[in-house]
């Protein structure tokens, strides 16, 4: 069993962090193989950023798969770029605050939408949109135990304890939305 996930959005939306949290949590809590592969190059804030996470019971061949089981898109440009890579029956997670659901021209995939930009602003910090989306993804897929994912987030943020309550709130909100789509 191998799951290929692509996370894509604007640079600055925390897509790398989202992927890394998920991959780290997998490494910490399971004996599965996992890779996190970031796009790199002449990247800049406001440009596009994406990363690939592969989780597998067996050896992982390509850290960058040809076909995605899951796709998380945080902006419109990423939807257009990566939607064709999602397999039939695959799962798409969109930031519906800025990604227009009407532009999804496929009927053969499951769509989970969450207005994570707006939700983050309501919580008072636009930066937590990625943690909300992480919650949405985990809540819907249950690919790993939410508690383990939160432990990883908590550990990674241990140097900034002031941010923990907000991130916890963001993660919980995401889980709730993800579960509501099940």
Partner 1 sequence: MARTFMKGSEAVAEAAVRAGCRFFAGYPITPQNEVPEYFARRLPEVDGVFVQGESEVASINMVYGAASAGVRSMTSSSSPGVSLKSEGISYCAAARIPMVYCNFQRGGPGVGAIQPAQQDYLQATKASGNGGFEMMVLAPSTVQEAVDLTYKAFDLADRDRNPVLLLADGVIATVMEPVELPEMKSDEEVQKIRDSKYSWACVGHKLDYANRSWIQPGQWDTVKMQKENEIAEELYKSWEKDVMVEEYEVDDAEIVIASYGISARIAKSAVEILRKEGIKVGLIRPITVHPFPYKSFENLDYSRVKTILDVEMSIPAQMIQDVELGVKGRCPIETCLVSGGNIISREAIIDKVRALVGKEA
20 binds partner 1 (CB under 8 A): yes
Which segments of the chain does DSSP mark as H helices, in order?
A: 15-29, 76-82, 116-122, 129-141, 146-156, 164-180
Beta strand 2-10 with 33-38: parallel, antiparallel or unpaired?
unpaired
Residue 55 near residue 3 (C-beta atoms within 8 A)? yes
Q: Which region, left, alpha or beta, applies to residue 56 given φ > 0 means left and ψ of -120 to 50 means alpha?
A: beta
Map the footprint of partner 1 across residues 117-136, applying CB under 8 A. none
Looking at the Cβ atoms of 49 and 114, the one nearer to partner 1 is: 49
Nearest distance from residue 37's CB to partner 1, in Å? 5
Site for partner 1 in 33-72 (CB under 8 A): 33-38, 40-42, 58-67
Considering the complex, state which of residue 61 and residue 100 has its C-beta at the smaller distance from partner 1.
Answer: 61
Residues of this chain that bind partner 1 (CB under 8 A): 20, 23-24, 27-28, 33-38, 40-42, 58-67
């Amino acid at each position: 069993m191998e799951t290929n996930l692509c996370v894509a959005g604007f640079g600055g939306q925390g897509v790398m962090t989202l992927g890394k949290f998920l991959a780290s949590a997998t490494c910490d809590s399971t004996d599965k193989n996992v890779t996190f592969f970031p796009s790199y190059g002449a990247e800049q804030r406001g440009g596009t950023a994406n990363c690939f996470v592969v989780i597998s019971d067996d050896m992982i061949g390509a850290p960058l798969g040809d076909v995605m089981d899951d796709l998380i898109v945080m902006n419109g440009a990423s939807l257009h770029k990566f939607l064709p890579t999602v397999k039939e029956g695959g799962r798409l997670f969109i930031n519906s605050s800025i990604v227009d659901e009407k532009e999804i021209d496929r009927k053969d995939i499951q769509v989970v939408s969450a207005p994570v930009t707006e939700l983050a602003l309501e919580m008072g910090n636009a930066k937590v949109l990625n943690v909300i989306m992480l919650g949405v993804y985990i809540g819907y897929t249950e690919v790993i135990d939410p508690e383990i994912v939160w432990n990883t987030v908590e550990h990674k943020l241990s140097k900034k304890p002031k941010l923990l309550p907000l991130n916890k709130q963001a993660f919980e909100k995401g889980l709730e939305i993800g579960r509501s789509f099940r």
